[in-house]
C-alpha cells in the first residue's frame, strides 16, 4: 500500500480545470493554481514564462540558482496536466522531501524507488493507471520498474531535476543519468523540462544533446541572491568567532563547512561545549549516521551541522539562515552552491567566509598533480581574489557567472564597510627588504617573525636575528603584518613560491617600490570594527523568546513532529514572519498570507489562528496605555461583539465604544453603522450646528433630553468629523 495517509491525499480543486496541452491557459488560471496549491500570490522572475512554455508542450531548459524556485516550474504544470508528470531526481532524500512538500500542499505525489517492496511499487503503478497521481518521482535506476506506464497515455510531462548530473562536465556526474536520452524517443510528444543550477555553457549543451531536446527553449535566471549577505573575515581565532556568530542567532539553523573530517569534529565539539546543539557530518560516517544527522537537521532537531562539502546536496530545507565557511572552498562554483543553501525562503540570510593563507596553500597542494591541475589552480585563484576583494563582492561573484551587476550591492561587507586606503610604502619596503635579506628563502610567518624581532627556534637556528631589518616592526601586530603582506601579494608586489615551501619572493615590481619611489596603497585591517557592528546589528534582529514568531515557530515544530515532516514544509519562516506581522484572525485573512494555500488553510489554519488570538489575549492583560484602542481593534477584527470585548478586557462598554469611535476616526476598518444609524448621526449633526459646536459631550446629552447615550454621541461625532467636515 502507499504510505500516504488519507488526510494527505485530500485533494482540493478550486475551480481549476484539468488542462490538455491544446488548451491555452490564462494568467488568472495560473495565478489561481499558484495560490491554491502553493499559497503564493506572484510568480518569481521567469517562472511564469517557463510554466507557459511547458504547458504549451515545448521542451524547456531552466537554469536557476539554488533556492531560485525551480520546483514550481514543473510542479504547477503537473497540477494542470491530465496525466502524471514523471520527475527524474538523483537522490532518494530529495524525492522524499519534495513528495512530502507536495502532499502537504494537497497535490497527489509519490516516489518510486528501490527502498519500496513489490507490493508498494505495484500500488504506485496502479495509482498512475487510475490517474490518482499528479507527480511521480523516480531515480534513473528505477525507471525500468515503470515500464508499463512509460507511454503517452499516462505521462503528460517529464521533468529532469539536477539535470547537470547528465554531463561529465558538471560537478555531479552520474552515469545513470546518461541513459535518459531514451525518454524523448519513447515519449516523442511529451514536453521535457530539464532543470539545474549549474550555469556553464558546456554543461548546458551537453544536457540538450543527451536528452535529445535540440529545440528546447532556455530560460536562464539571474544568479543574484540578494537576500544573502556576504562577508569575509580573516581566520584568526575562527572557532571563537563562529561561536559568537551563532550565539547572536539563537534558534537559527546553519551549516559550518570545513575542509577536513577532523575539522568538522573538533568544531562540532567546541560548539556543543558552548551549548550549541551541533552534529558533525562527513563521508567517513556510516550511512545510518549520515541519514540521521541530515534528518535531524532538516527537522530542526539539531541547530548546526559542521560538515565537509559532502553535506547539502539533497537538502531543500528553506530555513537555513546562515552558512559559514570555516575554510576557503576550492572554487567559486562550490562556494556559491554552498551559500545558496541559506535563505531559500527569500528572508535575510548570512554567508560568512573565513580567509586564511594556510587554506590557500593546502588547497594548492590538493590540486597539484591532478590531471586538470591548471584549471583547478586558476579556479582557486579566482576564489582567492574574491576573498581578498576591496570592491563589491557580489559584483565579483556574478561576473564569474557572466552576469554584470551595475551598482554595488550594498549587502556585502565591502559595500557596508568600504576599505580605506593609506600610503603604505614604508610598510611595503620593510617587508620587501626583509624578503631580500633572507634571500627569498622564507615563508610569510618567518618574514613577520623577523620584522617583529621574535627570537624563536627557527630564527635563532638560521641566525636571522642578525639581519638588518630584525625587530624593526615591533610597533605593528603580527596579524596586521600578515594583512599587509597578503595585500602585497595580491598587488603583485611580491609573490608566494608554492613549489619552494611557500617562500616569499620578489617580483619585477618589488624593485620599483624599494628603489624607484613607487608608492604602495594598503588598507587598514577592519576586522574589529566589523565585529562590533555585527554584534549591534544582531542585537536588533534577535527575536525575543516570547514573540509571536517564536510561538508560531514552536507550534510549527509540534505539528511537524506529529506529521513526521520537516517543519519548513508546514510553513516556511517567511510565511511565519508574515503571520506575525499581519496577525490573521479569520480564515479569509489567513488565506491572504503568502505560503498559505487551500490545503494548509484547511489543515493548519485553525491552530495557527488560535495561537495568534491567544497571543493577543495574553498581551491584553498588560496593554500599553496609548495603544489600548488597538487591542480593542484586534478583538473587533476577530469578530467579537462590543459586550464580549468589554468582558474580555474587563473594561466598561462606553470605554470600548470610545475606542471604536477613535479607531473609526483613525481610518481603521470599522463598520460604524453597525453601532449607530444614519438618522442618529444626522440628529447629532443638527445639534452640533444648533449648539454652535460645543466641546462638552454633556451639552449634546442634555440637548437630546438624556435620550441618547454618551457612546452614541461620541460615535456620531467621529462619523461627522470624518464625513462632513
Ligand atoms: P530550487 O529548487 O530552485 O533550489 P525551490 O524550488 O526549492 O528552489 O524554491 C525555493 C523556495 O522558494 C521554496 O521555499 C519555495 O516554496 C519558494 N518559492 C518558489 N516560488 C515562489 C514564489 N513564486 N513566491 C514565493 N516563494 C516561492
Ligand atoms: Zn557589495
Q: What is the pLDDT confidence band of residue 720, given thresholds at 50, 70 and 90?
A: confident
486 against 429, higher pLDDT: 429
Calculate mean pLDDT across residues 643-662.
85
pLDDT at 4: 35
State the cell numbers at 557.
Answer: 515544530
- Ligand 1 atom nearest the C-alpha of 316 is 7
Please work out whether the CB of residue 685 comes within 6 Å of at least one atom of ligand 1.
no
**Around 82, how many Cα atoms within 13 Å sit in the side-chain half-sphere?**
11
* 433 CA to centre of ligand 1 in angstroms: 56
Task: Single out the residue of 116, 76, 77, 81 nearest to residue 95, CA to CA.
Answer: 116
- Nearest atom in ligand 1 to the alpha carbon of residue 42 is 23
Is 354 a residue whose pLDDT tops 80?
A: yes
Average pLDDT of the segment spanning 430-437 = 96
Q: Which of 428, 391, 410, 417 is nearest to 511 (CA)?
A: 428
Q: Which of 607, 610, 649 is nearest to 632 (CA)?
A: 649
Q: Give the residue-averaged pLDDT of 44-60.
A: 95
User: Is residue 555 within 8 Å of 608, Cβ to Cβ?
Assistant: yes
Confidence of residue 542 (pLDDT cuts 50, 70, 90): low
pLDDT band, residue 555 (cuts 50/70/90): very high
The residue to mutate among 39, 61, 72, having the most atoms of ligand 1 within 8 angstroms of its beta carbon, is 72
Buried b (16+ CB within 10 A) or exposed e, 550-576: bbbbebbeebbeebebbbbbbbbbbbb
Query: What is each CA distance from 404 to 107, 222, 223, 269, 523, in whole angstroms?
Result: 39, 10, 10, 42, 26
Highest mean pLDDT among 242-251, 667-676, 702-711: 242-251
Per-residue DSSP letter, 349: E
* Residue pair 422/487 in contact by the 8 Å Cβ criterion: no
Can you tell me which atom of ligand 1 is nearest the CA of 101?
16
Whether residue 148 has pLDDT greater than 70: yes
Using one digit for the tens of pLDDT, what is the confidence trace for 562-604?
988 999 999 999 999 999 999 998 999 999 999 999 999 999 9
Burial class (CB in 10 A: 0-12, 13-18, 19+), 705: exposed
Least confident among 54-58, 194-198, 574-578: 194-198
Question: Which of 94, 320, 344 to probe ligand 1 with, by most ligand atoms within 8 A of CB?
Answer: 344
Distance 311 CA to ligand 1 centre (A): 21
Q: Is the CB of 568 under 6 A from ligand 1?
A: no
Domains in the chain: ranges and CATH: 27-220 (3.40.50.300), 228-416 (3.40.50.300), 421-523 (1.10.10.10), 570-723 (no CATH)
Q: How far is CA 690 from the centre of its chain?
A: 64
**Beta strands 135-138; 109-112: pairing state:** parallel
Give, to the nearest 10 degrees, the angle between helix 238-247 and helix 261-273: 50
Q: Return the minimum-mean-pLDDT range out of 103-117, 175-189, 190-204, 600-614.
A: 190-204
Q: Return all residues near 462 (Cβ < 8 A) that are at least 6 apart.
A: none
- Percentage of residues of the chain with pLDDT beyond 70: 92
Distance, CA 595 to ligand 1 centroid (Å)?
10
Q: Check: CB of residue 385 under 8 Å from CB of residue 372.
A: no
3-state secondary structure of 341: coil
CA-wise closest residue to 600 among 635, 556, 662, 636: 556
Q: Which of 419, 416, 352, 418 is nearest to 387 (CA)?
A: 352
Cell of 234: 580573516
First-to-last alpha carbon distance for the chain, in angstroms, is: 70
CA 28 to CA 49: how far, in whole Å?
Answer: 14
The per-residue pLDDT for 200 is 74
Q: How confident is the model at residue 281 (pLDDT cuts 50, 70, 90)?
A: very high
| Number of the ligand 1 atom closest to the C-alpha atom of 65 | 3
| Confidence class for position 99, pLDDT limits 50, 70, 90 | very high
DSSP string, 53-89: HHHTT--EEEE--TTS--HHHHHHHHHHBSSEEEEE-
- Give the pLDDT band of residue 169 (cuts 50, 70, 90): low
Q: Is the pLDDT of residue 326 over 50?
A: yes
Kindly report the protein residue whose alpha carbon is nearest to atom 1 of ligand 1. 67
As a whole number of angstroms, the distance between CA 124 and CA 118 comes to: 10
- Which ligand is in closest contact with the Cα of 64? 1
| Pick from 664, 589, 666, 641: nearest CA to 649 | 641
How far does the centroid of ligand 2 lie from the alpha carbon of residue 619, in Å?
Answer: 41
Surrounding ion ligand 2 within 5 Å at CB are 392, 394, 408-409, 412, 415
Q: What is the dihedral of CA 379, 384, 385, 387, to 10 degrees?
A: 130
89: Cβ below 6 Å to ligand 1? no
CA distance linking residue 137 with residue 145, whole number of Å: 12
Mean pLDDT of the chain: 88
Query: Atom of ligand 1 at shortest distance to CA of 340?
Result: 4
Protein residue with its CA nearest to atom 18 in ligand 1: 69
Amino acid at each position: 500500500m502507499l504510505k500516504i495517509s488519507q488526510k494527505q491525499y485530500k485533494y482540493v480543486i478550486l475551480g481549476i480545470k484539468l488542462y490538455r496541452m491544446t488548451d491555452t491557459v490564462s494568467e488568472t488560471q495560473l495565478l489561481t493554481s499558484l495560490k491554491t496549491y502553493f499559497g503564493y500570490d506572484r510568480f518569481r522572475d521567469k517562472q511564469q514564462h517557463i510554466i507557459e512554455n511547458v504547458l504549451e508542450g515545448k521542451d524547456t531548459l531552466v537554469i536557476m540558482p539554488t533556492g531560485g524556485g525551480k520546483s514550481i516550474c514543473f510542479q504547477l504544470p503537473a497540477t494542470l496536466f491530465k496525466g502524471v508528470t514523471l520527475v527524474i531526481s538523483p537522490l532518494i532524500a530529495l524525492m522524499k522531501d519534495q513528495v512530502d512538500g507536495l502532499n502537504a500542499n494537497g497535490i497527489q505525489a509519490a516516489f518510486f524507488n528501490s527502498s519500496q517492496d513489490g507490493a508498494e511499487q505495484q500500488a504506485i503503478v496502479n495509482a498512475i493507471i487510475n490517474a490518482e497521481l499528479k507527480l511521480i518521482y523516480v531515480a534513473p535506476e528505477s525507471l525500468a520498474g515503470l515500464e508499463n506506464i512509460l507511454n503517452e497515455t499516462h505521462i503528460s510531462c517529464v521533468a529532469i531535476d539536477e539535470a547537470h548530473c547528465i554531463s561529465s562536465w558538471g560537478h555531479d556526474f552520474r552515469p545513470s543519468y546518461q541513459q535518459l536520452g531514451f525518454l524523448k524517443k519513447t515519449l516523442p510528444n511529451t514536453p521535457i523540462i530539464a532543470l539545474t543550477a549549474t550555469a556553464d555553457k558546456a554543461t548546458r549543451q551537453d544536457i540538450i544533446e543527451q536528452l535529445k531536446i535540440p529545440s528546447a527553449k532556455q530560460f536562464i535566471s539571474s544568479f543574484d541572491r540578494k537576500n544573502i549577505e556576504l562577508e569575509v573575515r580573516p581566520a584568526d581565532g575562527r572557532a571563537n568567532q563562529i561561536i559568537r556568530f551563532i550565539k547572536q542567532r539563537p534558534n537559527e539553523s546553519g551549516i559550518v563547512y570545513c575542509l577536513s573530517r577532523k575539522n568538522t569534529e573538533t568544531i562540532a565539539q567546541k560548539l556543543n561545549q558552548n551549548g550549541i546543539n551541533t552534529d558533525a557530518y562527513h563521508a567517513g560516517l556510516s550511512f545510518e549516521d549520515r541519514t540521521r544527522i541530515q534528518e535531524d537537521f532538516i527537522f530542526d532537531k539539531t541547530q548546526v551541522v559542521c560538515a565537509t562539502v559532502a553535506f547539502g546536496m539533497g537538502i531543500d530545507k528553506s530555513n537555513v539562515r546562515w552558512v559559514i565557511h570555516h575554510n576557503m572552498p576550492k572554487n567559486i562554483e562550490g562556494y556559491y552552491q554552498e551559500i545558496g543553501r541559506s535563505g531559500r525562503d527569500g528572508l535575510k540570510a548570512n554567508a560568512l567566509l573565513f580567509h586564511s593563507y594556510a587554506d590557500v596553500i593546502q588547497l594548492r597542494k590538493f590540486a597539484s598533480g591532478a590531471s586538470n591541475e591548471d584549471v583547478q589552480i586558476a579556479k582557486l585563484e579566482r576564489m582567492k581574489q574574491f576573498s581578498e576583494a576591496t570592491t563589491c563582492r557580489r559584483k565579483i561573484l556574478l561576473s564569474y557567472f557572466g552576469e554584470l551587476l551595475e551598482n554595488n550591492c550594498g549587502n556585502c561587507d565591502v559595500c557596508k564597510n568600504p576599505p580605506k586606503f593609506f600610503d603604505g610604502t614604508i610598510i611595503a619596503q620593510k617587508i620587501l627588504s626583509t624578503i631580500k635579506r633572507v634571500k627569498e628563502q622564507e615563508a610569510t610567518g618567518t618574514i613577520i617573525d623577523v620584522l617583529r624581532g621574535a627570537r624563536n627556534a627557527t630564527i635563532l637556528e638560521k641566525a636571522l636575528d642578525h639581519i638588518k631589518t630584525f625587530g624593526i616592526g615591533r610597533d605593528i601586530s603580527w596579524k596586521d603584518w600578515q594583512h599587509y603582506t597578503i595585500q602585497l601579494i595580491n598587488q603583485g608586489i611580491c609573490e608566494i613560491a608554492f613549489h619552494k615551501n611557500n617562500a616569499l619572493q620578489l617580483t619585477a615590481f618589488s624593485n620599483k617600490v624599494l628603489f624607484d619611489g613607487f608608492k604602495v596603497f594598503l588598507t587598514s585591517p577592519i576586522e574589529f570594527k566589523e565585529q562590533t557592528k555585527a554584534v549591534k546589528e544582531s542585537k536588533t534582529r534577535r527575536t525575543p523568546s516570547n514573540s509571536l514568531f517564536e510561538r508560531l515557530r514552536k507550534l510549527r515544530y509540534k505539528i511537524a513532529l506529529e506529521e513526521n515532516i520537516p517543519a519548513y514544509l508546514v510553513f516556511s519562516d517567511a510565511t511565519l514572519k508574515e503571520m506575525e506581522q499581519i496577525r490573521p484572525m479569520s480564515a479569509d485573512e489567513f488565506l491572504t498570507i503568502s505560503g498559505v494555500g487551500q490545503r494548509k488553510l484547511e489543515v493548519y489554519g485553525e491552530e495557527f489562528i488560535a495561537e495568534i488570538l491567544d497571543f493577543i489575549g495574553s498581551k491584553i492583560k498588560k496593554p500599553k496605555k496609548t495603544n489600548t484602542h488597538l487591542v480593542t481593534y484586534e478583538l473587533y477584527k476577530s469578530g467579537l461583539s462590543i459586550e464580549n470585548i468589554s468582558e474580555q478586557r474587563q473594561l466598561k462598554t462606553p470605554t470600548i465604544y470610545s475606542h471604536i469611535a477613535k479607531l473609526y476616526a483613525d481610518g481603521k476598518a470599522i463598520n460604524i453603522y453597525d453601532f449607530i444609524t444614519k438618522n442618529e448621526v444626522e440628529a447629532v449633526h443638527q445639534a452640533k450646528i444648533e449648539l454652535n459646536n460645543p466641546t462638552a459631550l454633556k451639552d449634546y446629552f442634555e440637548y437630546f433630553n438624556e435620550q441618547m447615550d454618551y457612546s452614541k454621541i461620541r460615535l456620531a461625532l467621529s462619523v461627522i468629523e470624518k464625513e462632513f467636515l
